[in-house]
Amino acid sequence: MLRHPEYEGKPLGVQQKSIVVTSNYLAREYGIKKCMSVQEALRLCPELVLVNGEDLTSYRLYSTKVFEILQQFTPLVERLGFDDYFLEIKSVEKQLKSQNDSEFDMNNLHTDEELKESDSKIFGPSDEECPCDCHTRLMIGAKIAAGIRNRIYEELHLTCSAGIAHNKLLAKLAGSLNKPNQQTLVFPCSGPMLLSAIGSISKIPGVGQKTMELLLSNNIKTVDDVRKIPLENLELKIGVDLARRLKDNAEGIDETVVKPSGKKQSIGLEDGFKSVSLVAEVESRLGALLRRLTELAMEDGRIPIAMRITVRKHDMNKPTSGKRETRQCALPKHLLPSTKTGMYDHNKMLILAMKLFHRIVDVSKPFHLTLLGVAFTKFEERSYGRSSITSFLRKQVAVHSVLDISSEEGIAEVNLGSPMSINQDSNDSSDQSATNLMNTSASSLSCSPISKLSNVASSQNIEDDLQNEVEPLPKKTKLEVWLSGRRESPSNEMAGLRLSPSSPMQVSPSVDTAVFKTLPIERRDVTRSWPTTSKPKPNNILKYFIANK
């Protein structure tokens, strides 16, 4: 909608191939669902406007911007896809409370104007006494959420919904209740009721199609089904781990912690299509993907260590559910981005990608693919200073690189002449220009993957060749394993105590001071009441399920 203000007020869908992957809420009023076919969507809403969303660049950009805003409130931000986040705000709440304690009466939280403007709801009863001060603290959490949502709207003009709760499960479920552009608070005592309200177990985060099939085969469908069956019984049917987790979840219990998301662990691109049956077209498409991928890798700034390619083979039985096969190998040092130019050698990258491809697909037999993908995994920080450890490692790479090139003469020269990559990518327009580039560079290339393959095939042993050039990844040292394992569960409390360079003197430096001040506790309007409690309601259970009635 931000990209196409001209469609304001119209039902709008985002199309990828023949799928409407998502839509605005106006379109949803017509019954359009996520991942519905274009056909069906247009049948429900003939005036539906569709925009192509196969290129995720702008979504990735906005996702990063949202993430950066969230990180100004707390470093404890866990990313769930492009538009979904968990924030651990215990330390923010504590600081907010202590900072305002002397001048502030917590009872006024019930009556806050900012919360009213943020379309705050409460799921379940809010008038119960709680031995702990969880009610007060969660109300502060709701204020923080309202402040965050305001910031996101002011800076990005994005609306969003939020759920506020004492654990991730309830927060996620609550966030789904009142959409769009609203937020929902659920107190711990209302957890079981919320879980009852969702009904199907498939709504529990982490329970997808496969788990649901397993449960259904045991006649378990609803949260109440899980509650009824004894734990020992359930463990035998679906395994101890899943059984225990679902038993907890059914009561609104979830002890998993917010795991701060660091840098990406992989950067990849995929393209799906009806069918590709020619090696030349595979090469063309992988080349196009690789060129875009190296751009993304340059933006990231780190050096990729390994390459993985993904293939989905056509499956006559289930057209869409064809499983993916992947092959992965270390990037030989000689095709890391050159230390001098910082550029990738696309030709050699493509040769390596085609080698991986041939490890999946036996091209001596007919094949047809419906998806190709390529990704970089495992990254190393790029060095700057001359004395840094990574700089040292890079220099070693540079030395090896010379040696490797010399051992690579088989692909350094050889022929042109091979009749490949004469395909005209008429199918989808997305990589048209990239394809043209590909053909240009291929003709100036001294070698093609196909000619290379025939070299390999004529040598005695393909396995030998792969041994030499499709290197296994270096194993982690014991120290590295230990280091990566031990940072597994420092509590978030501890993480919140890390010193921030910008405000070293602060008591709780995890909260940015400037940002913090954008979250004023309103002390006026003391007579206002919490939205859902503004009118006294009969003690009718229906009210707990109908928002703000």
Partner DNA sequence: CGGGGATTAT
Partner DNA sequence: ATAATCC
Closest to DNA by CB, 35 vs 494, is 35
| Nearest distance from C-beta of residue 463 to DNA, angstroms | 13
| Nearest distance from C-beta of residue 172 to DNA, angstroms | 8
| Nearest distance from C-beta of residue 34 to DNA, angstroms | 7
Angle at which helix 279-300 crosses helix 432-444, to 10 degrees, equals 100
Nearest in space to 121 (alpha carbons), one of 85, 154, 145, 97: 145
Closest to DNA by CB, 312 vs 394, is 312
Q: Which of 47, 103, 129, 241 binds DNA (CB under 7 A)?
A: 241
Q: Which of 80, 240, 507, 526 binds DNA (CB under 7 A)?
A: 80
Q: Which of 2, 6, 8, 35 binds DNA (CB under 7 A)?
A: 35
Nearest in space to 515 (alpha carbons), one of 120, 182, 184, 92: 92
* Residue 362 touches DNA, criterion: CB under 7 A: no
In terms of C-beta density within 10 A (0-12 exposed, 13-18 middle, 19 or more buried), how is residue 121 classed?
A: buried
Measuring CA to CA, how many Å separate 250 from each of 168, 187, 242, 545? 14, 16, 12, 18
Rounded Cα distance between 184 and 205, Å, is: 17
Q: Scan residues 316-345 and list those touching DNA (CB under 7 A).
A: 319-320, 323-330
Rounded Cα distance between 183 and 117, Å, is: 11
Phi-psi category of residue 544: left, alpha or beta, with phi > 0 → left and psi -120 to 50 → alpha: alpha
Handedness of CA 540, 546, 548, 549 (dihedral sign): negative
Closest to DNA by CB, 116 vs 247, is 247
* Residue 403 touches DNA, criterion: CB under 7 A: no
Residue 357 CB neighbour total at 10 angstroms: 24
| Nearest distance from C-beta of residue 538 to DNA, angstroms | 36
Q: Scan residues 176-235 and list those touching DNA (CB under 7 A).
A: 204-212
Nearest in space to 291 (alpha carbons), one of 424, 435, 447: 435
Q: Which of 25, 30, 71, 84 binds DNA (CB under 7 A)?
A: 84
Stretch that binds DNA, among 13-21, 180-188, 404-412, 433-441 (CB under 7 A): 13-21
Place of tokens 């259970």: 541
Q: Which of 60, 395, 476, 523 binds DNA (CB under 7 A)?
A: 60
Closest to DNA by CB, 228 vs 368, is 368
Interface with DNA (CB under 7 A), residue total 57
* Residue 264 touches DNA, criterion: CB under 7 A: yes
Place of tokens 């004395």: 387
Q: Which of 56, 61, 457, 526 binds DNA (CB under 7 A)?
A: 56
Q: Which of 253, 371, 450, 521 binds DNA (CB under 7 A)?
A: 371
Measuring CA to CA, how many Å separate 425 from each of 82, 254, 313, 432? 30, 50, 20, 7
Closest to DNA by CB, 64 vs 406, is 64
Cα 263–chain centre separation: 12
| Nearest distance from C-beta of residue 510 to DNA, angstroms | 20
Closest to DNA by CB, 99 vs 430, is 430
Closest to DNA by CB, 76 vs 269, is 269
Q: Which of 112, 271, 281, 283 binds DNA (CB under 7 A)?
A: 271
Note whether 148 and 213 are within 8 A (CB). Answer: no
Give DSSP secondary structure letters for 97-117.
HHHHTTT--GGGGGG-HHHHH
Starting at the edge strand found earlier in the chain, the sheet holding 183-186 runs: 120-123, 183-186, 162-164
Q: Scan residues 438-497 and list those touching DNA (CB under 7 A).
A: 472-473
* Residue 21 touches DNA, criterion: CB under 7 A: yes
Binding site for DNA (CB under 7 A): 16-19, 21, 35, 37, 54, 56, 60, 79-82, 84, 204-212, 241, 259, 261, 264-274, 296, 306, 308, 319-320, 323-330, 359, 370-371, 375, 472-473
